[in-house]
Structure 1
Amino acid sequence: MPARPWLHRYPADVPAEIDADRFPSLMAMFEQSVADFADRPAYTNFGKTISYRELDRLSRDFAAYLQQGLKLRQGERIALMMPNLLQYPVCLFGALRAGLVVVNVNPLYTARELEHQLRDSGAETIVIVENFAHTLDKAIRQTGVKHVILTRMGDHLGWLKGTLLNLVVRHIKKMVPNHNLPSCVSYQEAMAKGKGMAYRRPELGGDNLAFLQYTGGTTGVSKGAMLSHRNMLANVEQCLGVYGPVLARGGEKVVTALPLYHVFALTVNGLLFLRLGAENLLITNPRDIPGFVKALKGFDFTCLTGVNTLFNALVNNADFQGGDFKSLKLTIGGGMSVQRAVAEQWQAITGSKLLEGYGLTECSPLVTVCPYDMEGYNGAIGLPVCSTEVRLVDEQGAVITLTHTPGEMEVRGPQVMSGYWGQRGPDDDSFHDGWLRTGDIATMDEQGFLRIVDRKKDMILVSGFNVFPNEIEAVAMLHKGVLEAAAVGVAHRESGEAVKLVVVKKPGAELDELGLIRHCRQHLTAYKVPKVIEFRDELPKTNVGKILRRELRDKAA
């Protein structure tokens, strides 16, 4: 097999290499976009639109407050815990402009999960939507958090609409549980103070840390992938290299239903389309499919990203099926495997090909994409993106040179993280001779198309989110009736995989499936909660007592 065979399959206008140093920092890229597209709409949410000029001003005010009001120094970590709201891009770019490191937090985390991420990252500042403040209230005393900025869902919608939404959310829908965070500052107060404060532009370079993006990785507890400004900029340029030929500067309208705290949406929707001066429609609750479809009406979107579960829900919605898709020219699927039936339905309904991609948080995230000139679904995760090398290795670490031969995927490129927070990359077993181990077993054909055939590690992939078996097992063992527990992934029609928990009860314990699921819900985000529980007399083990998860997986399959 020739070296980098995928280059011969690239469309003629897709470059083999990109310039990862086109911008010295994400701040510099942001500054150019807000200058070039000042009067264009940047973000729309709940019917309210802010322009690039307004995004520039608002993020400057927030950056000034962080620097002058909170006295945060360059390199300190700030956690953002919110769904897709106008506050998110304001806080994201404000934090980056202040020279801080952004720690994205899933707002559905339990107190235990939130505590781990805040403690591990060392974040002393958090911006959080009041809907989730009760979780922080339970965790904050075990963390180093000193500054809490509390925002409400309607804070950027204007006095009338914002007040109405906040009242509905708090008093009618009862979506704001009681909490006690006496030292918090309101988001609106922070923005008002920042408006009157001086902003100091920091000196940032490509090697400066931009994000601690927490991931399930492959084993152990959740770890923070250290993503530098150069890592993220490289991946933006790689996205632009492979998708740029079908995208127009200042002419795109993208739908962001995936949460921006997830690295896929962060890079593609949040950064790539900022680079292009696109208008970004933020969907706050994509699980509300009727509401989502209603929000699409009147927004002649040209691009949409999502995961298989989202596309499946849309193609089975009658109102969506009757929609107008004449403007849609790019649909990108990632986070989990796209199913053939869903991809073919999507193309039949919208006329747009669903281009599958593959990535890892550790790679900022994009590694491979299906080229834009494909005619339809082919079951592959695509070709390596520009300036990216992918190789397959056998169990001894030797490089596989034969096509269609399974091996573990390893990746090398400018988008690959330097390592995990608190660890050294070269010393971590996630790296092999400078290549990132993905834990995925794949094959490569003559053109360079890659197909995932298995996973080497035990990590479970639920709707694009990584789930650690160790974490599920540790929570199960907190129940007084559990003697042993093992978590594995099983096939699931909607989420790709779901968590199955196999349990051995303590002698005489009164324990049933419903009670154990209730227990897990107290400690785990919803997507991590087991969907299936099986009780056994014993678990399969090696001769040294290690639980054989693979045997449980194979039996379930």
Structure 2
Amino acid sequence: MSKAWLAHYDPGVPEYADVARFNSLAQMFEEAVSRFRDRPAFSSMGRELSYGDLDKASARLARHLRNVLNLQHGDRVAIMLPNVLQYPIAFFGVVRAGLVVVNVNPLFTAPELVHQLRDSGAKTVIVLENFCATLEEALRHIVVPNVIVTSVGDELGMAKGLLTNFVVRCIRKLIAPWQIDGYQRWRRVTARRRSIAAPNVVLERGDTALLQYTGGTTGFAKGAILTHGNVLANALILGNWFAAINDGRREKYLVALPLYHAFALICQVVHRFIFGGCGVLIANPRDLDGLVAEMQRHRFRNLAGVPSLFQALARYPGIRKVDFSETAACCSGGAPLTTAVAEAWKAATGLTIIDGYGLTEVAGVAAMNPLGQRSSRSGIGFPVCSTEIEIRREDGSLAAPTEPGEIHIRGPQVMLGYFNQPEETARVLDASGFLATGDIATMSEDGYLTLVERKKDMAIVSGFNVYPSEIDDVLTRHYGILEAAAVSVPDPETGEAIIACVVRRDLNLTEAAVIEHARASLTRYKVPRCVVFLDTLPKTPVGKVLRRVLQEQVGKLAERAGSKSTEAQQ
């Protein structure tokens, strides 16, 4: 395979990363602790947790899981926590015990939780008490032998912790009544009187570290099997990609994305942990007042987010009071970055967003723009170190340069497969180790990738392929549009028709104005048939628009929409 993209790497970025540097996440953790013991590893709500503190707390948890709960090598432990200090303690405690982390979205409904706990076979759940009522409901349908419950203030120190827990329980009343028999309290499990020696377990790169469940936007979620080697490979690849800014300083990085998502956990936490960084954990990034206040208190070396977060911050007045003098990189992922969002962020902060491309099945990232590249080219960048990407046609042959086709990825970060789903695994992994992603992109002659659309979201209008993200990009350039997402619905004449779902910035914006704007930039068959105005767009917790949900919402409306404007309140 020709690797023309190598010529465009930043100086010093190698073709191959040393992905065999560590045998396991446990070894990586111990080496980092030995180097940075006195440095802060994480900060939350004004409380810092040093590398040494994290070492002791995670060791206590690991011993409890193995010696008290009698969990065995490879058993699964579900972590159902937001971005609080308990999360990194739980994550590293589980992997140091030789167990498998199952990340769970704390906002799951009971049926979603039942599916994931049943599918993973989790034997223990570590949960914030705010979500115990949901867990209680789920446990009526499935047995999980062990439940460890923590409270928001448990790692904030005695005085602040008690006050925080009182406010959460009694003032803000954020905890619904719950009753789970036989649960254990986090503070007792990690009590200082317990031994701090981690259990002696032997781990290898091929051992499973994570069952990382996909978003499940179509049907039930599947658990991607990510090994210690997969996770470390992506973290080390990113270490090489950003070598120019890894200068050994006591840097801080913002963790506003949920840690139960691979992007934040692997591409931020594991990656930066290797280099002695301090992650500032944001429990609720939707609280922009609190988020920006935290940003004003710190000087961040690195910011990462999804496009919707950068968009929200760019229009927040207080963002101009944030000191970005030490910020070396702003990275976007999780969803396509539109030109409008990139330009808005640049105008508000003076900083360029570096976007890339990845998915759960590759433990995070497969392609990325080099530092500063976004300003000259609009796309998802080049294949990162140690990674091969091919663009293939429907028949499996290689697409020509700039011809749209499906992205296929091979590299040390590619998952082993889907947990207990050999047929689904065979559908996406071929004999040569390439992963079929379901995403459509083009690759230029020099290897630069431009994402076109999710294959499953592509519409066919009058025989022509239509990619909704292209329409989104055009629509969001209109000054009166805050957010937009195009979806397709069945049409008896054209096969499918495009509906534009729009959140207005200008409440006087009309359907006619939106369509006129679209006609100025889009071929006739790409222009939306009609416009549906919404208060918000449904999204996943990491900011991806749920097009399937939108299709269900507007499908019936579209049947009678025709040329008439449709107003919908969500």
Q: Does 1:18 align with 2:17?
A: yes
Give the share of equivalent positions with the same residue, in percent: 41
Q: Provide the rounded CA distance (Å) in 2 between the counterparts of 1:216 and 1:500.
A: 21
Aligned-pair distance for 1:248? Answer: 2.0
Q: Does 1:387 align with 2:391?
A: no
Aligned-pair distance for 1:374? Answer: 2.0
Q: Does 1:534 align with 2:532?
A: no
Q: Are residues 105 and 283 of structure 1, via their aligned partners in 2, closer, same or farther at CA, if it must alter by over 3 Å?
A: same
Deviations 1:435-485 (A, max 9, x none): 10011111011221101112222599xxxxxxxxxxxxxxxxxxxxxxxxx
Q: Which residue of 2 aligns with 1:78?
A: 77
Q: Which residue of 1 aligns with 2:526?
A: none
Amino acid at match of 2:44: N
Amino acid at match of 2:414: V
Q: Which residue of 2 aligns with 1:441?
A: 440
Q: Which residue of 2 aligns with 1:419?
A: 417
The normalised TM-score by structure 2 is 0.81
Q: Are residues 394 and 218 of structure 1, via their aligned partners in 2, closer, same or farther at CA, if it must alter by over 3 Å?
A: farther
Number of residue pairs matched by the alignment: 492
Q: Which residue of 1 aligns with 2:305?
A: 306
Amino acid at match of 2:120: S
Q: Provide the rounded CA distance (Å) in 1 between the counterparts of 2:85 and 2:257.
A: 14
Q: Provide the rounded CA distance (Å) in 2 between the counterparts of 1:8 and 1:138.
A: 55
Equivalent residue runs for 1:297-336 within 5 Å: 297-336=296-335
Q: Are residues 342 and 431 of structure 1, via their aligned partners in 2, closer, same or farther at CA, if it must alter by over 3 Å?
A: same
Answer whether contact 1:63 1:94 (CA < 8 A) is retained.
yes
Amino acid at match of 1:349: A
SS of the residue 1:113 aligns to? helix
Mean alpha-carbon deviation: is it higher for 407-416 or for 196-205? 196-205
Q: Which residue of 2 aligns with 1:410?
A: 408
Equivalent residue runs for 1:174-213 within 5 Å: 174-192=173-191, 195-196=194-195, 199-213=198-212
Q: Which residue of 1 aligns with 2:288?
A: 289
Q: Provide the rounded CA distance (Å) in 1 between the counterparts of 2:376 and 2:292.
A: 24
Query: RMSD between aligned alpha carbons?
Result: 2.8
Deviations 1:192-219 (A, max 9, x none): 2882376322000000000000003685
Q: Are residues 495 and 273 of structure 1, via their aligned partners in 2, closer, same or farther at CA, if it must alter by over 3 Å?
A: farther
Q: Which residue of 2 aligns with 1:271?
A: 270
Aligned-pair distance for 1:12? Answer: 2.1
Q: Provide the rounded CA distance (Å) in 1 between the counterparts of 2:338 and 2:542.
A: 25
Q: Provide the rounded CA distance (Å) in 2 between the counterparts of 1:499 and 1:123.
A: 37
Q: Are residues 500 and 111 of structure 1, via their aligned partners in 2, closer, same or farther at CA, if it must alter by over 3 Å?
A: farther
Answer whether contact 2:315 2:348 (CA < 8 A) is retained.
no
Q: Which residue of 1 aligns with 2:430?
A: 432
Q: Provide the rounded CA distance (Å) in 2 between the counterparts of 1:413 and 1:194.
A: 44
Aligned-pair distance for 1:4? Answer: 1.4
Answer whether contact 2:354 2:374 (CA < 8 A) is retained.
no
Amino acid at match of 1:261: Y
Answer whether contact 2:127 2:148 (CA < 8 A) is retained.
yes
Q: Provide the rounded CA distance (Å) in 2 between the counterparts of 1:149 and 1:194.
A: 18
Deviations 1:299-352 (A, max 9, x none): 111111000111111111111123221111111100011121221232333333
Answer whether contact 2:332 2:354 (CA < 8 A) is retained.
yes
Amino acid at match of 1:358: Y
Q: Which residue of 1 aligns with 2:137?
A: 138
Q: Which residue of 2 aligns with 1:484?
A: none
Q: Which residue of 1 aligns with 2:234?
A: 235
Q: Provide the rounded CA distance (Å) in 2 between the counterparts of 1:42 and 1:372.
A: 25
Answer whether contact 1:333 1:354 (CA < 8 A) is retained.
yes
Deviations 1:242-291 (A, max 9, x none): 11222222432101000111000011221001011011100010000011
Amino acid at match of 2:320: Q
Q: Are residues 446 and 116 of structure 1, via their aligned partners in 2, closer, same or farther at CA, if it must alter by over 3 Å?
A: same
Deviations 1:45-77 (A, max 9, x none): 000001111111111111111111211111100
Deviations 1:362-386 (A, max 9, x none): 0001100100142616220111010
Amino acid at match of 1:86: L
Aligned-pair distance for 1:11? Answer: 1.5
Question: Which structure has the higher relative contact order (CA within 8 Å, separation 6+)?
Answer: 1
Q: Are residues 65 and 16 of structure 1, via their aligned partners in 2, closer, same or farther at CA, if it must alter by over 3 Å?
A: same
Q: Provide the rounded CA distance (Å) in 1 between the counterparts of 2:117 and 2:75.
A: 12
Q: Are residues 233 and 459 of structure 1, via their aligned partners in 2, closer, same or farther at CA, if it must alter by over 3 Å?
A: farther
